[in-house]
Amino acid sequence: MSKATPNTGAAAESVPRTAGDMLRMGREFLTRKGLAQARLEAELLVANALGIERLKLFMDLERPLSAEEVSRGRSLLSRRARGEPIAYITGGREFYARTFSVGPAVLIPRPETELLVDRAREFVRARGLASPRCLDVGTGSGVIALSLALEIPGASVVAVDISSAALEVARANALQLRVPAERVEFIQGDGALAARAQAPFELVISNPPYIAFEAKPTLAADVRDHEPELALFSPAGDPHHWLRRLLEETPALIAPGGVLLIEIGHDQSAAALELARARNRPAKIHKDLAKLPRILEVEF
């Protein structure tokens, strides 16, 4: 009898035959590269290479792969292994239960920023505002502005950013998420005053760049080497630049009884309260789920 058996050795192993193979190999590869979330990330990247949802992958483990799918999967996995953030590779990130397109022109939205949207909704509800006018300063991918427009039925939102590339991403997200054009207006400009002609607003909201430039060397490499500096850092030597700017510019734009909500770094709360109170404004800090100070709320 012939002893010949199909070759299932090392060479065959290195080319994934099925979605399940690629998932296992991707997981091992990313683990070897030292990525803490190797399992989840392999799932996201392999699903993306196959053009399916992550959870659908598990119903399709036996699905055979085309040569093209194999090479797409390999290229996505090696980009991740070289440090590119997963959201830029897949081109999307969830925020407030919706998927937003993101790319290297914008900050990748962080889960703690959802709290800013929660606070804004709470403010609108508590005041019983039927058609609040909202200003989002430094809109980036548009996550805050568009979540407000979609979550608060009568809201109209103005979204400002200095970066035209970021505004392109935000506009594309507005189209993708079918936000009616009359509910959101995008303006290119530097700071809140770019929306002077659209004032007054009941709500001014911002997740400004608040990481001290001096802290750059301490950041994770995927953040430091890939996300836009303009979106991450306050100017060198001036860690509270945007707190000050927003507190200075808001009075010219805000309606009486309005509120300013700013996301802050966990080490900024004392300075934030001090800056607000120096302007005789009632102010408080809200903590995030990790119990870290995260939002400055200022009343006008």
Chain centroid to Cα 274, Å, comes to 28
CA distances from 89 to 44, 86, 97, 121 (A): 10, 5, 20, 32
146 binds ligand GLN (CB under 6 A): no
The pattern of x and - marking residues 209 through 248 that bind ligand GLN according to CB under 6 A reads: x---------------------x-----------------
The one-letter code for the residue type at 18 is T
CB atoms within 10 A of CB 39: 14
Please report how close the Cβ of residue 154 comes to ligand GLN at its closest, in angstroms.
22
Q: Torsion-angle region of residue 140: left (phi > 0), alpha (psi -120 to 50) or beta?
A: left
Residue 147 sits in the site that holds ligand GLN (CB under 6 A): no
Contact between 144 and ligand GLN per CB under 6 A? yes
207 contributes a contact to ligand GLN by CB under 6 A: yes
Residues 6 or more apart in contact with residue 193 via CB below 8 angstroms:
249, 252, 253
Closest distance between ligand GLN and the C-beta of residue 269, in Å?
18
Size of the site for ligand GLN (CB under 6 A): 13
- Alpha-carbon distance of 257 to 254, in angstroms, equals 8
CA distance 73 to 45: 7
Considering only 92, 132, 138, 293, the residue that binds ligand GLN (CB under 6 A) is 138
Minimum CB–partner distance for residue 33 and ligand GLN (Å): 27
CB of 25 to ligand GLN, least distance (A): 33
> Binding residue for ligand GLN (CB under 6 A) from 16, 73, 109, 239?
109
Smallest gap from residue 93 Cβ to ligand GLN (A): 9
Burial grade of 227 (CB within 10 A; 0-12, 13-18, 19 or more): buried
Residues found near ligand GLN in the complex (CB under 6 A): 107, 109, 113, 138-141, 143-144, 207-209, 231
